[in-house]
Structure formats: structure tokens, C-alpha cells
Amino acid sequence: MSVQTDLSAWSEARSLADLGILMAGWYEGRVPEWPGREGRPDEGLYPAADSLAAACRAGIVVLSAQPASVERVDGELWIHRATFTALVERDDLSTALLRGAREAGLVRYGLLSSAGGFGWPNTVTARDGEPMEFAGHRIDAADVAHMFDGCHADAVRAAVDAWQVTLIDPGSARDGLLWKVLDAASGRTEAGVA
């Protein structure tokens, strides 16, 4: 599948693998937008763009991601835990993600489907100790379909039917560990997590 520079490329996608190629292009800045989101990824993700793109190409289609950071803004302490949620349809990839996460001590929510199971929301962003954003809960079928609105029905069905895997680094100040697990699972690096 060739990567075009507008939303028409998304209508040509027929599979989760096709969506992964387009999502990789989005993380790399070659695809300016995707149906589920306008514009480029958040600037905080730029250092992880190569990891996210490689994962998408390998079949780990990353829908959302957040780097770790601790910062004070207008006198309020914001803590962000590194996290990502991805769609995966291959058992070997989901197994590699979950095994790598377990070995690295990450919080993991895996093998949820848009049709069932709720998951357990985990705080990934807090402001002065108050939970602000969560990850690890199931994304329902309508929301997954909306993320790929305008794509071919086969690609939307593949996304809806895929397993949802969320990994969260419980450490609030480290950012690299999660991306190392993702790199190992996608084959971007051959070694496991150091």
C-alpha cells in the first residue's frame, strides 16, 4: 500500500496491516492526519516516533501514546506515566508485548476486545494528585470504528475485531522503558529490555 498525503489513502486500507502502514506514516510526519485525529502527534511523542512507527508497521497499531514526564505548570504538579494502547490481531505480537511488559514490571492490560470485557482504568495523568486521564479500559466498537471513519469497511472491521493491549509504566519519571518493550515486541531491537 502506498502512503498518500491526504485522507483518501485511508479509504484504500483493507486490513489492520494497511492501517498500521498509514499510522506509521502519521507518527513519522509523512501522513498529515488520520480519521480519528486532526493534525500531527503531540510534540512530546516525537522522541518515540521511530518506536511507534516500527510498531505500527509490525502489526501493533498504536492508537494512543503518552511519554512520561513530571512538570509544574502554573503551580500545579502534573505527573504523566508513559503509556500506549494498541490494536493487535497476531497472537505472537500480543504475547511478546505482554511477556515483555511482565518482565519489565509494567502494568499491562491485554486481550480486551471492543465487544467485551471492560478492563480496569489506571491513572496515567494526575494533577496535584487528582486523576485526570486514564488508560487500560476497553474502547467500545463504536469508538474504534469512529477512529477509522471513512476507511473501507474491511479495515474498520479488522480494527474493531482486533485485541486491545495497553501498557503503562508505573514509574512517573522514566520514559524509555516502555518504548524498549515496544521495540523488542515489534522486532525493532533484537535484545530484550535492558
Q: What pLDDT is stored for residue 174 in this prediction? A: 76
Distance (Å, rounded) from C-alpha 10 to C-alpha 150?
7
How do residues 146-159 score in pLDDT, each as one tens digit?
999 999 999 999 99
Classify 137 as helix, strand or coil: strand
Give Cβ neighbours of residue 14 (< 8 Å, ≥ 6 apart): 152, 154, 155
Cα-based torsion angle of the residue sequence 143, 145, 150, 153 in order, rounded to the nearest 10 degrees: -170
Residue type, 77: L
H or E stretch at 66: strand 60-66
pLDDT in tens, 14-47: 999 999 999 999 999 999 888 877 788 888 888 8
pLDDT more than 70, % of the chain: 89
User: Which helix (H) or strand (E) element contains residue 87?
Assistant: strand 83-88
Among candidates 34, 79, 65, which has minimal Cα distance to 165?
65
pLDDT tens figures, 53-110: 999 999 999 999 999 999 999 999 999 999 999 999 999 999 999 999 999 999 887 7
